[in-house]
Amino acid sequence: MSLAGMPCRELHAKLRSGELSSREAVQAALEAIGQRDGTVQAFVDVWENEALLRAEEIDRRRAAGQPVGALAGLPVAVKDNLCTYGRRTSCASRMLENFRPPYDAHVIERLQAADAVIVGKTNLDEFAMGSSSEHSAFQVTRNPWNPEHSPGGSSGGSAAAVAAEMVPAAVGSDTGGSIRQPASFCGVVGLKPTYGRVSRYGLVAFASSLDQIGPLANDVYGCAMLLEVLAGHDPRDATCLNVPVPEYVRSVDEAPERLRVGVVEEFMGEGVDDEVRSAVDRVVGALRDLGAVVESVSLPHARYAVATYYIVAPSEASSNLARYDGIHYGYRAEAFENLEDLYARTRGEAFGSEVKRRIMLGTYALSAGYYDAYYLKALKVRRLIRQDYDRAFERVDVLVGPVAPTPAFRLGEMLEDPLTMYLADVFTIGANLAGLPGISVPAAMSSQGLPIGVQLIGPPLSEERLLRAARLWERHCPRTVLGRPALCQ
Is 328 within the bounds of a domain? yes
Among 112-116, 122-126, 303-307, 411-415, where is mean pLDDT lowest?
A: 411-415
Q: Are 157 and 17 members of one domain?
A: yes
Q: Are residues 216 and 313 in the same domain?
A: no
**The amino acid at 181:** Q
Count of structural domains within the chain: 2
CATH number at residue 84: 3.90.1300.10
Kindly indicate the confidence band of residue 481, based on its pLDDT and cuts at 50, 70 and 90: low
pLDDT of 478 reads 63
* AA letter at 303: R
Same domain, 186 and 259: yes
Residue 287 lies in a domain: no
Q: Do 371 and 398 fall into the same domain?
A: no
Residues 85 and 216 in one domain: yes
According to the model, what pLDDT value does residue 473 have?
A: 95
Given pLDDT bands bounded at 50, 70 and 90, which one contains residue 339? very high
Q: Are residues 104 and 135 in the same domain?
A: yes
- 455/462 Cα distance (integer angstroms): 14
**Percentage of residues in the chain having pLDDT higher than 70:** 99
- Residue 406 exposure: Cα atoms within 13 Å on the Cβ side: 16
Across the chain, mean pLDDT equals: 96
Alpha helix locations (H) across 321-368?
Answer: 339-350, 353-366
Report the candidate in 73, 92, 473 with the shortest Cα–Cα distance to residue 261. Answer: 473
Span 142-173, pLDDT tens digits: 999 999 999 999 999 999 999 999 999 999 99
In this prediction, residue 487 carries a pLDDT of 79
DSSP state of 82: B
Q: What is the mean pLDDT of residues 296-325?
A: 97
Considering 341, 376, 411, which residue would you say is the last residue of a domain?
376
Residue 477's pLDDT band (cuts 50, 70, 90): confident
How many C-beta atoms surround the C-beta of residue 313 within 10 A?
Answer: 26
Residue 480 has pLDDT above 60, yes or no: no
Does the pLDDT value for residue 5 go beyond 90? Answer: no
Q: Is residue 401 classed as helix, strand or coil in its secondary structure?
A: strand
User: Has residue 295 been placed in a domain?
Assistant: no
Residue range 34-62: average pLDDT?
Answer: 98
Give yes or no: residues 32 and 141 share one domain.
Answer: yes
Q: Identify whether residues 46 and 109 lie together within a single domain.
A: yes
pLDDT at 298 over 70: yes
Residue 286: band (very low, low, confident or very high) from pLDDT cuts 50, 70, 90: very high
Q: Are 418 and 469 in the same domain?
A: yes
Q: 440 forms bridges with which residues in the sheet?
A: 190, 455
Does 224 share its domain with 367? no
For 79-93, the pLDDT digits (tens) are: 999 999 999 999 999
- Whose CA is closest to 215, among 287, 161, 151, 254? 161
Q: Could you list the active site residues? A: 79, 154, 178
In whole angstroms, give the CA distance from residue 368 to residue 455: 39
Kindly report, residue by residue over 234-284, the tens digit of the pLDDT.
999 999 999 999 999 999 999 888 899 999 999 998 899 999 999 999 999
* Whole-number Å distance between alpha carbons of 62 and 229: 19
Peptide bond before 132: cis, by omega within 30 degrees of 0?
Answer: no
The Cα–Cα gap between 65 and 59 comes to 10
* d(C-alpha 283, C-alpha 107), whole Å: 32
The pLDDT confidence band at residue 476, using thresholds 50, 70 and 90, is: confident
Last residue of a domain, one of 329, 345, 376: 376
Is 285 inside a domain boundary?
Answer: no
Per-residue pLDDT at 347: 97
Clarify whether residues 92 and 168 are in a common domain. Answer: yes
pTM across the whole model: 0.97
Q: Is residue 467 domain-resident?
A: yes
Q: Does any domain span residue 291? A: no
> What is the DSSP code (8-state) at residue 323?
G
Q: What is the pLDDT of residue 423?
A: 84
Range of 365's domain?
A: 303-376
Average pLDDT over residues 134-140: 98
37 with 122, same domain: the answer is yes
Look at the chain and count its residues.
Answer: 489
**Cβ neighbours around 473 below 10 Å, total:** 21
Q: What is the DSSP letter of 194?
A: P
Instruction: Flag whether pLDDT at 382 surpasses 60.
Output: yes
Q: Is the peptide bond before 154 cis (omega within 30 degrees of 0)?
A: yes
Q: Indicate if the pLDDT at residue 479 is higher than 70.
A: no
Q: Is residue 283 part of a domain?
A: no
Please report whether residue 388 resides in a domain: no
Q: Which one of 328, 345, 376 terminates a domain?
A: 376
pLDDT of 1 reads: 61
* 120-136: pLDDT as tens digits: 999 999 999 999 999 99
What does the pLDDT look like over 181-231, one tens digit per residue?
Answer: 999 999 999 999 999 999 999 999 999 999 999 999 999 999 999 999 999
pLDDT at 418: 85
